Chains A and B, each alone.
Chain A
Amino acid sequence: MAKRLGFLVDIERCFGCHTCELACKNEYQLDPDIRWRKVYQIREDAYAMPERIFMSLTCNHCDQPECLRVCPVVAYTKRNDGIVLHNQDRCIGCGMCIMACPYKVPQYNQKQKRVEKCHMCAHKQDQGQKPACVTGCPAEALSVIDLETFTVLGTTEKLPGYPDPKITKPTTRFIQPSIGVQIRRDR
């Protein structure tokens, strides 16, 4: 039975430590300027009180991946479980996918003159293991969900600053942060 694997990012638990990003980089010993996963700070004024809120993002393994649609050499494929893979051997480094992806996911490797991106640790998942970012997160803010069976109640597919999900139908889901009480002297 086909799956629709996606990342669930618990923004309430995430504290923006960037550990997921480097757990990924450590696992694959990525080049210094390549970021398969990236932690973005959400604008401080996006919520009721100034807060330090982050979204940890990588490939959204979209239902309608634009990268796959625009790639002239069919370097992209989508597995039955929903994981979008990029085959570097086919890639010609044209950068079409970089322009097409609303999430700036494909990364251009200057040395290899080709693109690379997150494969959701497909080989690990095939072994019943979790992706490196998921197992590395000290907050346990990341998990892999199957949208075919996952109850989406209480989650959202939108966050301030996150591009409109209508374009590519990403499989990433978020748990919203709760905003605490703040006793401040400036307001």
Chain B
Amino acid sequence: MDKKLTCSRRSFIKGTAATTIALGTAGSLFSINQSSFKTALAQEIQENKIFQNACPRNCYDTCSILSTVKDGILTKVDGNPDNTYTRGRLCVKGYSYTRSVYSPDRIKYPMKQKGRGSGNWERISWDEAYSEIAETILRIKKEYGSTLPICLNKYSGNFSIMQYGIEGMLASIGDHSIATGTPCWPAGIDAQTFDFGTIYNNDPEDIVNSKYLILWGVNPAWCAVHSMYFIQEAKRRGCKVVAIDPILTQTASKADVFLQIKPSTDGALALGMAKYIFDNQLYDAQWLARNARGYEEFFGYIKNNITLEWAADKTGLPKETIETLAREYATTKPANIWIGYGMQRHTNGGQNVRAIDALAAITGNIGKSGGGAQYAHLETWGFNYHAMVQEKPQDNRAHGNRAINMNNFGAEVLAADNPPIKMLWIACRNPVSQDPETSVIKKAFAAMDLVVTAELFMNPTVEMSDIVLPVTTTFENPGVNVSYWHYWMTLNQQAVKPLYEAKNDITIAMELSKKLNEMQPGSCTFPTAGDLYEWAGKEFNANIYSQFGINDWKELEKGPVKAKRGLIAWQDGRFRTPSGKYELWSEEAQKFGHHPLPVYVEEVKPSGKYPIRCLTPHWKLNIHSQFQNLDWMDNIDNTPRLEIHPKLAAQYGIAHNDNVKVYNEIGYFILPARITETVPVETVAAYTAWYKNRNYNVNYTVKAIPADMGKKATGMPGIAFHDNFVNIEKI
């Protein structure tokens, strides 16, 4: 199918190009060419159908896509110009979509593996797959008296609301174990929840109105490319852009000023700045008096505990630099801070975010266009989650689901007792590649009776499963997508029929429900039939309609819509904290074991044996373990590398391209070196990714150390991914 598509489109283009040349040699060019092109294009347009789609990856940008379909085949994707955030453009990943839809590596039909990790797969029918899964579910239920030994681990591979069918299916068989928490951003969420009451950012298109912008531990040039336009536009209008990061990221490389801060000391910088702002009375007393709680206590803390010398020593930045930054930030209005997710992946990450929030508060930059302390938002996520909410079967005997910490998944699955966990269902997730402590994850998988994974590709998690179920891509099923950054909503239409034997999560849930009820009537409450498009419609309610200014979700067929209100966070001054004010002093924080003020919590330092910090941020050609496995990405870059400073490399006798073993007490990985001054001397960087046919996984060295915050809003603390210390060795 793939081949046919390539040929038909390419022969079209080449045919027309050839015509041009033939005419070109004859002499007069334009008029004749145009008519021939016009005919060809008109013909092509007639044959093509255009569908609305949305990119559902776990990314800031959630692009609105226009898909071109010819003879039932997706022939290309374009950005939808109606979306004023993505502005008719996709990213390097988005433009690769035909390669994932028609990848020869897609899982095409259900398969069963004899011996986890053996690669000894055999094709089975959907009915056989459902039967084995249903038998195991019912056997476990009988043996343990409940479905608690069945554990769902599903998260962020797909943010279309329709994908919540998997949660719905598990809820329909009864109380079960469920991976709880979120690995990537919870410490920052809790920090902002203590300060503001929830996460809530200005419309990113509003960045153009900023006059001073601090990009704090965030790398939109790789992770939110469409925001870079607004940053560059702000710059053009006179905004100064400062990037604070341990790494000279691609974003930092484009900033007016780059401050190479020591990792995990962001709170010390923020508090040092606050000290300067306080000492020089550059704070907004009026805003604080009207909107904030606990500012006297906060000023008392910084007066008595913080000095600029201390901040300079902690952060590695000169005192004068901190003074200049503080003065410029406090006196240029409006000033904006974008707080990234990377900088909160530390054991003091939440506190650091609170300290940065405090800067925005004391300077009165909150609730204003061009201002703010941006992190994320869930303001447009008020759907019904119809697919997720299901009744329990009548014989449900447990008393609620059992939460298994997603951020220490392997260890918690192994430790679960009374009853133990015997079956895993993995969807929209690749824990063997992306979770910390890969070895422990593998042990947990090995201890199961049955591991079912619903996936697109044969990734490391599928390799450790018993049954794999082929799932659809976003182009093969309907859905609705919103963003945790911008304020657009896009309908995702089914553009092509599901390929091979792939099914979407809700269809899988319906058919498994049917099988369960055949085997044991009443054992599963999930509906056994239904129209998926109607299911999309069931997610809407009056609030969503009013927020987006539409009367019916079918209006989205015309194109994406943007929220009509609430685009400047906290403009109404009604914070969602217990006091209704911005809380510099938070009793809620105290309840969760933190200091009520945004105080400095000591950063973790390397030990003697493992003296090098290893940062494992995102890579530009992928998101988590997606995209880098595709041939188009492989063609751009097929070699993960260890980024290492020339001084550190010299110490270890490492030259460019030398293979380096990166190791600590829990594991190791090996990869060639890239000598670069974009990383600090005492820190190396390797990017998290899954490469096809490469045994590369940074998480063999990453421990499941909890971040300081996350429990309040997400149920579990985050992971201090960046407090990872290693040693290196040339091999």
Does any Cβ of A come within 8 Å of B544's Cβ?
Answer: no
Q: Are A182 and B91 in contact (CB under 8 A)?
A: no
B29, B40, B256, B647, most chain A CB atoms within 10 A: B29
For A28, give the chain B residue with the smallest CB separation: B13
Q: Are B317 and A183 in contact (CB under 8 A)?
A: yes
A25, A80, A182: the one contacting B632 at CB < 8 Å is A25
| Distance between A15 CB and nearest chain B CB, rounded to angstroms | 4
For B79, give the chain A residue with the smallest CB separation: A136
Given that A180-B257, A185-B260 are contacting pairs, would A22 and B632 also be in contact in the complex, using a CB cutoff of 8 Å?
Answer: yes
Docked CA distance A144–B460 (Å)? 44
B14, B24, B676: the one contacting A79 at CB < 8 Å is B24
Q: Are B260 and A22 in contact (CB under 8 A)?
A: no
B residues less than 8 Å from A81 (CB atoms):
29
Docked CA distance A33–B632 (Å)? 7
Does any Cβ of A come within 8 Å of B18's Cβ?
Answer: yes
B residues less than 8 Å from A182 (CB atoms):
248, 257-258, 260
Does any Cβ of B come within 8 Å of A21's Cβ?
Answer: yes
Q: Are A52 and B678 in contact (CB under 8 A)?
A: yes
Does any Cβ of A come within 8 Å of B118's Cβ?
Answer: no
B residues less than 8 Å from A119 (CB atoms):
17
For A33, give the chain B residue with the smallest CB separation: B635
B40, B95, B257, B681: the one contacting A136 at CB < 8 Å is B95
B22, B620, B647, B676: the one contacting A17 at CB < 8 Å is B620
Q: Are A28 and B260 in contact (CB under 8 A)?
A: no
Chain A proximity mask over B587-624: 1 for CB below 8 Å, otherwise 0: 00000000000000000000000000000000011000
For B24, give the chain A residue with the smallest CB separation: A77
Docked CA distance A23–B93 (Å)? 10
Q: Are B89 and A51 in contact (CB under 8 A)?
A: no
Docked CA distance A17–B79 (Å)? 16
**Secondary structure dominating the interface of B:** helix
A residues less than 8 Å from B98 (CB atoms):
26, 29
Q: Are A183 and B229 in contact (CB under 8 A)?
A: no
B9, B34, B222, B631: the one contacting A126 at CB < 8 Å is B34
Given that A17-B620, A119-B17, A122-B17 are contacting pairs, would A50 and B37 also be in contact in the complex, using a CB cutoff of 8 Å?
Answer: no
Chain A proximity mask over B247-261: 1 for CB below 8 Å, otherwise 0: 011110111111110
| Distance between A130 CB and nearest chain B CB, rounded to angstroms | 11
Given that A26-B77, A28-B10 are contacting pairs, would A87 and B17 also be in contact in the complex, using a CB cutoff of 8 Å?
Answer: yes
Q: Are A183 and B318 in contact (CB under 8 A)?
A: yes
B222, B232, B678: the one contacting A44 at CB < 8 Å is B678
Does any Cβ of A come within 8 Å of B645's Cβ?
Answer: yes
Q: Are A35 and B635 in contact (CB under 8 A)?
A: yes
B residues less than 8 Å from A127 (CB atoms):
34, 37-38, 41
Q: Are A183 and B258 in contact (CB under 8 A)?
A: yes
Given that A26-B76, A26-B95, A136-B95 are contacting pairs, would A180 and B316 also be in contact in the complex, using a CB cutoff of 8 Å?
Answer: no
Q: Are A87 and B18 in contact (CB under 8 A)?
A: yes
| Distance between B463 CB and nearest chain A CB, rounded to angstroms | 24
Q: Are B95 and A29 in contact (CB under 8 A)?
A: no
Does any Cβ of A come within 8 Å of B307's Cβ?
Answer: no
A29, A88, A138, most chain B CB atoms within 10 A: A138
Which residues in chain B, 90-109, are within 8 Å of chain A measured between CB atoms? 90-92, 95-99
Does any Cβ of A come within 8 Å of B6's Cβ?
Answer: yes
Which residues in chain A, 33-63, are within 8 Å of chain B measured between CB atoms? 33, 35, 39, 44, 50-53
B residues less than 8 Å from A25 (CB atoms):
95-96, 632
Does any Cβ of A come within 8 Å of B680's Cβ?
Answer: yes
| Distance between B614 CB and nearest chain A CB, rounded to angstroms | 18
Does any Cβ of B come within 8 Å of A32's Cβ?
Answer: yes
Given that A19-B92, A138-B229, A185-B260 are contacting pairs, would A52 and B24 also be in contact in the complex, using a CB cutoff of 8 Å?
Answer: no
For B226, give the chain A residue with the smallest CB separation: A138
Which residues in chain A, 161-185, are within 8 Å of chain B measured between CB atoms? 180-185
A residues less than 8 Å from B97 (CB atoms):
26
Docked CA distance A17–B257 (Å)? 21
A53, A80, A85: the one contacting B253 at CB < 8 Å is A53
Q: Are B21 and A85 in contact (CB under 8 A)?
A: yes
Q: Are A135 and B88 in contact (CB under 8 A)?
A: yes
Q: Are B676 and A50 in contact (CB under 8 A)?
A: yes
Which residues from chain B sit less than 8 Å from chain A, CB to CB?
A: 5-6, 9-10, 13-14, 16-18, 20-22, 24-25, 29-30, 33-34, 37-38, 40-41, 75-77, 79, 87-92, 95-99, 221-222, 225-226, 228-229, 232, 248-251, 253-260, 262, 316-318, 321, 620-621, 631-632, 634-636, 645, 647, 676-678, 680-681
Which residues from chain A sit less than 8 Å from chain B, CB to CB?
A: 13, 15-19, 21-23, 25-33, 35, 39, 44, 50-53, 77, 79-81, 85-90, 119, 122-123, 126-127, 135-140, 180-186
Q: List 28 A-B contacts (CB under 8 A).
A: A16-B620, A18-B621, A19-B95, A22-B632, A26-B76, A26-B97, A28-B13, A32-B99, A32-B632, A33-B635, A51-B253, A85-B24, A87-B22, A119-B17, A123-B13, A123-B17, A123-B20, A126-B33, A138-B87, A138-B226, A138-B228, A180-B254, A180-B257, A180-B258, A183-B317, A185-B680, A186-B647, A186-B677
> What 10 pairs between A and B have smallest CB-CB spacing?
A22-B95, A32-B631, A50-B677, A15-B221, A26-B95, A52-B253, A87-B21, A18-B92, A138-B225, A182-B258
